[in-house]
Structure 1
Amino acid sequence: MSAPFNLVIRAASALIDGEIRSVDIGVIDGTIAAISNDHLHGDTVVELADDEVLIPGLVDTHVHINEPGRTEWEGFSSATRAAAAGGVTTVIDMPLNSVPATTTVDALEFKRAVAAEKAMVDVGFWGGAVPENLGTLRSMHDAGVFGFKAFLAPSGVEEFGHLDAAQLESALEEVADFDGLLIVHAEDPGVLGAHQNEGGVNYPRFVESRPDEAETTAIDRVIAGVRSSGARAHILHLSSAAALPALRAARAEGLAITVETCPHYLTLAAEDIPDGATQFKCCPPIRDEANREALWQALLDGDIDFIVTDHSPSTAELKFSHGGDFALAWGGIAGLQLGLSAIWTEAMRRDIPLSRVLGWMSAGPAHFVGLPQKGRIAVGADADLVAFAPAEVFTVRVEDLLHKNPVSAYDGRELAGVVRSTWLRGVAVDTAADAEPTGHLLRYLGLGLDADLD
Structure 2
Amino acid sequence: MTLVVRARRVLLPDGGRAAAVHTADGRITAVTGFDDAPAGAVTLADDEVLLPGLVDSHVHVNEPGRTEWEGFATATRAAAAGGVTTVVDMPLNSIPPTTSVEALHVKRRAAEGQVAVDVAFWGGVVPGNLDQLRPLHDAGVVGFKCFLLDSGVPEFPPLDDADLRAALTELAGVDALLIAHAEDADVIAAAPPPAGARYPAFLASRPPAAEETAIGRLVAAARDTGGRAHVVHLADADALPLLRRARVEGVRVTVETCPHYLTFAAEEVPDGDTAFKCCPPIRESRHREALWAALADGDVDLVVSDHSPCTPELKRLDVGDFGLAWGGIASLQVALPAVWTGARARGLDLSQVARWMSAAPARLAGLPQKGAIAVGRDADLVVFAPEERWRVGELLHRNPVTPYAGRELTGVVRRTWLRGEETDGTPRGRLLGRGGR
1:235 equivalent in structure 2: 231
Cα contact 2:141–2:434 (8 A) shared by 1 = yes
- Aligned ranges 1:32-431 → 2 under 5 Å: 32-37=28-33, 38-41=35-38, 45-321=41-317, 323-397=319-393, 400-431=394-425
**1 CA distance for matches of 2:373 and 2:317?**
45
Deviates more, 1:224-233 or 1:10-19: 10-19
| Residue in structure 2 matched with residue 441 of structure 1 by the alignment | 431
TM-score by length of 2: 0.98
Tell me which stretches of 4 or more aligned residues in structure 1 moved more than 4 Å.
none
- Contiguous gaps of at least 5 residues in structure 1: 446-450
AA aligned to 2:358 is S
- Structure 2: 5+ residue stretches without partners: none
What CA distance in whole angstroms lies between the structure 2 residues aligned with 1:360 and 1:321? 33
CA distance in 1, matches of 2:242, 2:202: 25
* Alpha-carbon spacing, 1:40–1:415, altered in 2? closer, same or farther (3 Å): same
SS in structure 2 of the partner of residue 141 of structure 1: helix
The answer to whether the 8 Å contact 2:273/2:317 transfers is no
Name the CA distance, whole Å, in 2 between partners of 1:198 and 1:28.
Answer: 55
Alpha carbons of structure 1 residues 198 and 212: separation in structure 2 relative to 1, 3 Å: closer
Q: Judge conservation of contact 2:228–2:253 (CA < 8 Å) in 1.
A: yes
Which amino acid is 2:75 matched to? A
Amino acid of the structure 2 residue aligned with 1:418: V
Counterpart Cα distance in 1 of 2:66 and 2:365: 26
Aligned partners of 1:392, 1:136: CA distance in 2, in Å?
48
Q: Write the distance in 2 (CA, Å) between the matches of 1:220 and 1:191.
A: 13
Tell me, yes or no, if the aligned pair for 1:322 and 1:328 is still in contact at 8 Å. Answer: no
Distance 1:12 1:293 in 2: 32
Deviation at 1:321, TM superposition (A): 4.9
**Which amino acid counterpart does residue 440 of structure 1 have in structure 2?**
R
**Structure 1 SS opposite 2:193:** coil
Residue aligned with 2:153, SS: coil
Q: Deviations over 1:326-372 (max 9, x none)?
A: 01100001000000000000111001010011110011111112222
Deviations 1:88-129 (A, max 9, x none): 001000000000100010010111111121011000000000
Residue deviations 1:165-187, cap 9 Å, x none? 21111111111122111100000
Moved more, 174-183 or 335-344: 174-183
Give the structure-1-normalised TM-score: 0.94
Count of residues in correspondence between the two structures: 436
Cα deviation, 1:372-393, whole Å, max 9, x if unaligned, reads 2111111111100000000110
Note if contact 2:194-2:202 (Cα within 8 Å) is conserved in structure 1: no
Per-residue CA deviation, residues 125-166 of structure 1 (Å, 9 max, x unaligned), is 000000021232101000000111100100000111111121
* SS at 1:255 equivalent: coil
Question: Is the contact between residue 309 and residue 339 of structure 1 (CA under 8 Å) also seen in structure 2?
Answer: yes
Looking at structure 1, the residues matched to 146 and 104 of structure 2 have their Cα atoms a distance apart, in angstroms, of 16
Do the aligned residues in 1 keep the contact of 2:9 with 2:16 (CA within 8 Å)? yes
| AA partner of residue 438 (structure 1) | R
Amino acid at match of 1:429: T
Q: Verify the 8 A CA contact 2:194 2:322 in the aligned structure 1.
A: no
Which piece of structure 1 moves more, 313-322 or 87-96? 313-322
CA RMSD of aligned residues (A): 1.1
Q: Do the aligned residues in 2 keep the contact of 1:322 with 1:329 (CA within 8 Å)?
A: no
Structure 2 SS opposite 1:338: helix
Task: Judge conservation of contact 1:18–1:355 (CA < 8 Å) in 2.
Answer: no
Q: Which moved more, 1:145-154 or 1:13-22?
A: 13-22
